Amino acid sequence: MAAISLRVNGQSHTVEVDPETPLLYVLSDELRLRGPKFGCGLAQCGACTVLVQGEVRRSCVMPVGAVKLQEVITLEGLGTPEQPHPIQRAFIEEGASQCGFCLSGVVLTAKNLLDENPKASDEEIREAMTSILCRCFAHKRMMAAIKRYQSGRR
């Protein structure tokens, strides 16, 4: 056990945990965040995705001790229900989910890609989403929401 300091969604936290603990468990159990979720624990599905210092990371396999003071952003850190982030608004407008459990991976991966490469081609978008899973298969609407966010950025 060690005292570990973290910066999550703009706030500082100190938690008392084993530094090997995956970041995901700290976010959900200690900080009680609901965005990132345990899907597989194997970095295969994307449900646990967060942004660490602006990069897409799978928090289920990232030891919290390795995060240091890098800025962590979760799905709820993007916007609020009252003021959703433009990509969240695009997903709301397209009705782009069913159960919604997978959304952290879908939304944050797409945001990261399009913020870095606003003119990403459809193929580049597909490439970025190859290891993101949605088992309700809301693929059609999710892709439409991603395109909507992309066209809004231009």
Determine if 128 is a binding residue for other proteins (CB under 8 A). Answer: yes
Q: Which of residues 7 and 25 has its CB atom nearest to other proteins in the complex?
A: 25
In the complex, least distance from residue 69 CB atom to other proteins, rounded to whole angstroms: 21
Please choose, from the candidates 21, 61, 50, 35, the residue with its C-alpha nearest in 3D space to the C-alpha of residue 109. Answer: 50
Rounded CA-CA distance 49/42 in Å is: 12
Cβ atoms 15, 78 nearer than 8 A: no
β partners of residue 52? 55, 72
Determine if 53 is a binding residue for other proteins (CB under 8 A). Answer: no
Determine if 73 is a binding residue for other proteins (CB under 8 A). Answer: no
| Residues of the chain by 3-state class (helix, strand, coil), percent to 5 | 40, 20, 45
Determine if 66 is a binding residue for other proteins (CB under 8 A). Answer: no
Determine if 68 is a binding residue for other proteins (CB under 8 A). Answer: no
Cβ atoms 58, 43 nearer than 8 A: yes
Determine if 72 is a binding residue for other proteins (CB under 8 A). Answer: no
Determine if 95 is a binding residue for other proteins (CB under 8 A). Answer: yes
Identify residue 95 by its one-letter amino acid code. G
Q: Which residues bind other proteins (CB under 8 A)?
A: 1, 17-18, 20-22, 25, 28-29, 32-42, 44-45, 47, 74-81, 84, 88, 91-92, 95, 97-104, 106-107, 126-143
